[in-house]
Chain A
Amino acid sequence: MEWSLSKADETIPLTDVDSAVDEHLKRNLVMTNLEDMLAWGRKHSIWPFNFGLSCCYVEMATALTSRYDASRFGAEVIRGTPRQADMIVISGTCFLKMAPVVQRLYEQLLEPKWVISMGSCANSGGMYDIYSVVQGVDKFLPVDVYVPGCPPRPDAFLQGLMMLQDQVGKERRPLSWTIGEQTVIKPDKNSQRDRLMESRMQATDLREPDSV
Chain B
Amino acid sequence: MSAAAVPTVDADIETALLEAFPGSSFVFQATIDQIPTYWISRSDSKEILAFLKNKYEMLFDLSAIDERMRTHREGQPASDFTVIYHLMSLTHRRDIRLKIALAEADLNVASIHQVYPNANWYEREVWDMFGVTFTGHPNLFRILLPPTWEGHALRKDHPARATEMPPFRMDDARQDTEQEALRFKPEQWGMKRKHGKTEFMFLNLGPNHPSVHGVFRIVLQLDGELIVDAVPEIGYHHRGAEKMAERQTWHSYIPYTDRIDYVGGVMNNLPYVMGVEKMAGITVPDRAKVIRIMMAELFRISSHLVFYGTFAQDVGQMSPVFYMFSDRERLFRIVEAITGGRMHPAWFRIGGVAQDLPNGWEAMIKDFIDWMPARLDDYEKMSMQNSILKQRTQGIGAYNSAEALDWGVTGPNLRATGFDYDMRRDRPYGGYDQFDFEVPVFQNGDCYDRAQVRVAEIRESLRIIEQCLHNMPAGPYKADHPLTTPPPKERTMYDIETMIHHFLNVSWGPVIPAGECTMTIEATKGLNAYSLVSDGGTNSYRTRIRTPSFPHLQQIPLISNGLMIADLIAIIASIDFVMADVDR
Contacts and interface: CB of A to CB of B under 8 A. Distances in A.
A135 interface: yes
A53 B579 CA distance: 9
Contact of A95 (B175, B239, B361): B239
B465 to A, nearest CB: 16
A190 B359 CA distance: 40
A100 B329 contact: no
Interface in B209-255: 210, 214-215, 235-240, 243-244, 255
Contacts of B363: 212
B145 A104 contact: no
Given A66-B322, A100-B170, A95 B358 contact: no
B168 interface: yes
Interface in B260-298: 262-263
Contacts of A127: 255-256
Nearest to B258: A55
A24 interface: no
Interface stretch (A4-12, A56-64, A162-170): A56-64
A93 B169 CA distance: 17
B492 interface: no
B376 interface: no
B208 A51 contact: yes
A130 B510 CA distance: 23
A65 B320 CA distance: 11
Interface in B128-185: 144-146, 153, 158-163, 165, 167-170, 174-175, 178-179, 182
Contact of B162 (A51, A52, A133): A133
Interface stretch (B340-348, B399-407, B445-453, B560-568): B340-348
A140 B168 CA distance: 9
Nearest to A98: B236
B321 A54 contact: no
B179 A131 contact: no
A134 to B, nearest CB: 5
Interface string A99-131: 111011100000000000000000001011111
Main secondary structure of the interface of A (DSSP, over half): loop
Main secondary structure of the interface of B (DSSP, over half): loop
A67 interface: yes
A80 interface: yes
Given A133-B239, A211-B358, A98 B325 contact: no
Nearest to B151: A131
A198 interface: no
A151 B343 contact: yes
A142 B357 CA distance: 44
Contacts of A153: 342
Contact of B337 (A96, A131, A212): A212
Nearest to A140: B170
A131 B165 contact: yes
A54 B208 contact: no
A209 B255 contact: no
A131 B243 contact: yes
Contacts of A212: 337, 358-361, 363-364
Interface of A: 50-55, 57-59, 61-62, 65-67, 80, 93, 95-101, 103-105, 125, 127-135, 139-140, 150-151, 153, 209-212
In the A-B complex, list the 8 residue pairs whose CB atoms are closest, starting with the nearest: A140-B170, A130-B240, A100-B178, A211-B359, A65-B325, A55-B262, A212-B337, A212-B360
Given A54-B259, A58-B343, A132-B144, 17 more contacts: A50-B210, A58-B306, A93-B239, A100-B175, A100-B182, A125-B162, A128-B240, A129-B162, A130-B243, A131-B161, A132-B145, A133-B240, A135-B162, A209-B340, A212-B358, A212-B359, A212-B361
5 contacts: A130-B239, A131-B165, A133-B239, A135-B163, A151-B344
Interface of B: 144-146, 153, 158-163, 165, 167-170, 174-175, 178-179, 182, 207-208, 210, 214-215, 235-240, 243-244, 255-256, 259, 262-263, 306, 321-322, 325-326, 328-329, 337, 340, 342-344, 355, 358-361, 363-364, 579-580
